[in-house]
Copies of this chain bind each other. A is one copy, B any other.
Amino acid sequence: MGRVYNFSAGPAALPVAVLERARDEMLDYQGSGMSVMEMSHRSKKYLGIIQHAEAMLRSLMGISDDYEVLFQQGGATLQFAMVPMNLIVDPKGETADFILTGSWSKKAMKEAKKFFAQTRVAASTEEVQFTRIPLQDELRLNPDAVYVHMTSNNTIYGTEFHYTPDTGKVPLVADMSSNVLSRVVDVNRFGLIYAGAQKNLGPSGVTVVIIRKDLMGRNANLPLMLDYKAQAAEQSMLNTPPTYAIYILGLVLDWVKDQGGVLGIEQRNVRQAKRLYEVIDRTGFYHCPNQPDSRSRMNVPFTLKKPELTDTFLAESTKAGLVTLKGHRSVGGMRASLYNAMPDEGVEALVSFMIDFERRYG
């Protein structure tokens, strides 16, 4: 079988150019006589790789010197704990606000509850099955909160923030795992951004943390690996970082630059999502439950008017080389994830299949 179009929600498709370069350099990275995997993380060659990755991310996202960029491990789930561990000084007196827009933001709050006497819900759309994102004026924010937590894109429900909440002086903390680098974002509006790499940035096993420097160092005596300040002091090399994952991340960032940077990528994402939602909304044969102004460009869930055809849809699309389209078990139906690496051809192939499927079964 040749390459397929992979609509996985994560780990997800990577640019072919990145994989080809990784393949070609596997046994000998740029004349070093070894793979990046075999390289001491303290070697000059490897320092070049990790510093390049950080510089590229800073340049692409416009990250100022007021922020540290860290390469961590443990995914977003470990950040759910690290954020309160690092930001809370008085666990009994302080609280944080959570904007609940899906399973992941609920998990983030549940984990934070292990560290706070109390957490607060600033807004939730659970009563409409998370089919929309709350508006700014629906947020009931506590001006004394240590931080406000949001999930900028919801992979399971397929909704996305198309605005950045104004939280006043309270730092905004965002889990951007599933839409980082997919759209232009003003980093200065955030206190802390974290993102597991395995959707838009690279392979699983590395988590990017962008943190405003004044938010670090509030607590002494944290476990070393969980202390943003200790990690920043060692440029994410407090111990051996996930060297190969960071190398691939750097290659992905080079590729993003070649696509016209984040703006170029965003334009493509807007175009692709529009194309797919139009086909979904066209006749009623397909259905997306989410409110139009809240729909995600990254994860597009849809069901069939005739749900008994779902297995047929999945079997035939897989046969056509359109894979991992099965919806999340909590939502059902289909989900097409259109992360940055999805080429226009993949989306065209999907919509052609969908139109044809509808013609045959509609």
Chain A interface (Cβ < 8 Å from any Cβ of B): 1-4, 6, 8-14, 16, 19-20, 22-23, 26-28, 31-35, 37-41, 43, 73-78, 80-81, 85, 111, 114, 196, 198, 202-206, 221-226, 238-245, 248, 321, 323-324
A40 touches B10 (CB 8 A): yes
Note all chain B residues with C-beta closer than 8 A to A76: 239
| Copies of this chain in the oligomer | 2
- A53 → B minimal CB distance (Å): 14
Alpha-carbon separation in the docked complex, A286 to B277 (Å)? 71
B11 touches A37 (CB 8 A): yes
Note all chain B residues with C-beta closer than 8 A to A225: 74-75, 77-78, 81
Alpha-carbon separation in the docked complex, A40 to B75 (Å)? 15
Alpha-carbon separation in the docked complex, A28 to B321 (Å)? 13
**Max count, chain B CB within 10 A of own CB: residue among A16, A77, A206, A239:** A239
Q: Majority SS of interface residues in chain A?
A: loop
With contact pairs A27-B3, A324-B43 given, residues A8 and B38 touching in the complex (Cβ less than 8 Å): yes
A30: nearest chain-B partner, CB-CB: B1
A40 touches B8 (CB 8 A): yes
Alpha-carbon separation in the docked complex, A226 to B6 (Å)? 32
Alpha-carbon separation in the docked complex, A81 to B230 (Å)? 15
A11 touches B27 (CB 8 A): no
Note all chain B residues with C-beta closer than 8 A to A22: 26
Alpha-carbon separation in the docked complex, A6 to B224 (Å)? 30
Note all chain B residues with C-beta closer than 8 A to A203: 37, 242-244
Alpha-carbon separation in the docked complex, A67 to B4 (Å)? 39
A6 touches B38 (CB 8 A): yes
B240 touches A198 (CB 8 A): yes
**Max count, chain B CB within 10 A of own CB: residue among A31, A204, A241, A321:** A204
A224 touches B77 (CB 8 A): yes
A204 touches B41 (CB 8 A): yes
**A-B interface, 7 closest residue pairs, ranked by CB to CB distance from nearest:** A205-B242, A4-B33, A81-B223, A73-B73, A23-B26, A77-B239, A78-B225
B243 touches A11 (CB 8 A): yes
Note all chain B residues with C-beta closer than 8 A to A2: 28, 33
With contact pairs A39-B8, A111-B224, A225-B81 given, residues A1 and B28 touching in the complex (Cβ less than 8 Å): yes
Note all chain B residues with C-beta closer than 8 A to A244: 203-205, 244-245
**Max count, chain B CB within 10 A of own CB: residue among A3, A206, A223, A248:** A223
Alpha-carbon separation in the docked complex, A80 to B226 (Å)? 12
Alpha-carbon separation in the docked complex, A1 to B349 (Å)? 43
With contact pairs A19-B26, A244-B244 given, residues A1 and B81 touching in the complex (Cβ less than 8 Å): no
- A199 → B minimal CB distance (Å): 9
- A32 → B minimal CB distance (Å): 7
Note all chain B residues with C-beta closer than 8 A to A239: 75-77, 196
Alpha-carbon separation in the docked complex, A240 to B75 (Å)? 7
B204 touches A11 (CB 8 A): no
B204 touches A4 (CB 8 A): no
With contact pairs A33-B3, A38-B13 given, residues A223 and B78 touching in the complex (Cβ less than 8 Å): yes
- Extra pairs beyond A6-B38, A8-B43, A242-B242 (6, CB < 8 Å): A73-B75, A111-B223, A114-B222, A204-B243, A205-B205, A244-B245
B1 touches A221 (CB 8 A): no
